[in-house]
Amino acid sequence: MTITASTLPKLSASASGKVDKLDPHRWKDDAKTGMCDLYEVLDAVSSTSIPDPTDSEANLVMDLVRAKREVLVAQKVLAECILRENEIQASLLKFQVDTTEKKLDDTDMGLGYMRAVFKKYGWSHISPLPPGHGNYLHTVDSLNFKCHMLSFALSKFSHLVPLELN
């Protein structure tokens, strides 16, 4: 039995023994009725819980703490995701550095091979003539130089093959 605003006067009347006025169908036996009604009031009061303001405040504080915990858990998950993203970005950059270093090494080997071929055949780099001294190709042909050309595969710098063209 719960105590409400409408049941409180009835319980009070039954505890005082004035049941006849409120409930005419109820038998009045002063000894039994008073004692049973007292037990009913006691049961009703003990089963009723009136919310204490401190309980409400404690519940609100607990809800706030739970919400803060959820925020911190979400921040931790976000930090782990950012960390994973940075690790993957670092791996990608390392891969790009390794690839670029390999390309640079291949280019250095290609240039070294070209220098060795130039040195072996006695070739040199001919600088263009200053402006006003005629066409560069015409000057080279007029001096009766043999034109040597190198052809190499651009995709594989380490496999340079010199070709002599007459």
Residues 157, 103: Cα–Cα separation, whole Å: 9
Residues 81, 60: Cα–Cα separation, whole Å: 32
Instruction: For residue 159, give the DSSP letter.
Output: S
pLDDT for 52 equals: 66
pLDDT for 54 equals: 74
- Percent of the chain past pLDDT 70, that is, above it, reads 45
pLDDT for 166 equals: 40
In the chain, beta strands by DSSP E: 150-151, 161-162
Contact 33, 19 (CB under 8 A): yes
Q: Which residues in the chain show pLDDT less than 70?
A: 1-38, 41-42, 45-53, 125-166
- Which residue do the tokens 């204490």 mark? 52
pLDDT for 16 equals: 59
